[in-house]
Amino acid sequence: MSQSVINIIRRAITRITAHPSLTSLREGFRAARCLSARLGMSFPLVLGAGLLALTLSCSSIDCPVQNTVAVNYAVPDTLKDTLSVWSPRADGTDVLLLNRATGVTVFSLPVGYQNPEDTLIFCVADTSHVITLDTVFLQKTDTPHFESVDCAPHFFHHLTGVRHTRRGIDSIVISNPSVTYDQTVTHIKLYFAPRH
């Protein structure tokens, strides 16, 4: 390390340790100076190693990277038609959740946390543009999930029931009622009626 870099580091350390509210920091620098004298190493090198060790030893905020809470659907018999799903809002508008998916075997839809029941409109359009609409009512309980004050709040869900119209959907089975961050779990199996 060049002498000019060492001098810059020393001046910065002197300014930091001169501040009256940093008593414990000054003591840490004194300990680093003492250690560097005992080891016969330069003070900036010992200080840099100490800061590196401190940085690596500090705990980080462990907010999950995959933090989407969604119901995972499986379609055992691949749906060859086009599937769209939306959810009506209380203000009369709709939220598009899945747009024109084809060759569907699996898909995920977000879960609401304001009401005990989510309403979903499933729209299946075949190659002749014949449209079949079904309404699915998904009952659930919501549980707040807390990771840390630094992480965004989330809700986990427990699916308690499902009912639906039977125009294009033959049956719906809840295979795992616990909805969390786990994207590998199939929560609902969706069976469509055979199309003629």
According to the model, what pLDDT value does residue 28 have? 63
94-123 per-position pLDDT tens digit:
999 999 999 999 999 999 888 899 999 999
CB of 139 closer than 8 Å to CB of 159: yes
- The tokens for 51 are 């800061």
158-170 per-position pLDDT tens digit:
999 999 999 999 9
Q: CB-based contacts of 106: which residues, under 8 Å, 6+ apart?
A: 72, 73, 74, 75, 186
10-59 per-position pLDDT tens digit:
666 666 556 555 555 666 666 666 656 666 667 676 566 666 655 555 45
According to the model, what pLDDT value does residue 196 have? 46
Q: Which pTM does this prediction carry?
A: 0.66
According to the model, what pLDDT value does residue 167 have? 94
According to the model, what pLDDT value does residue 74 have? 96
140-160 per-position pLDDT tens digit:
999 988 877 777 778 899 999
The distance in angstroms from the start CA to the end CA of the chain is 79
Percent of the chain with pLDDT over 70: 67
Q: Which of 129, 127, 124 is nearest to 190 (CA)?
A: 124
- The tokens for 44 are 């900036």
Q: CB-based contacts of 72: which residues, under 8 Å, 6+ apart?
A: 106, 107, 108, 183, 185, 186, 187, 188
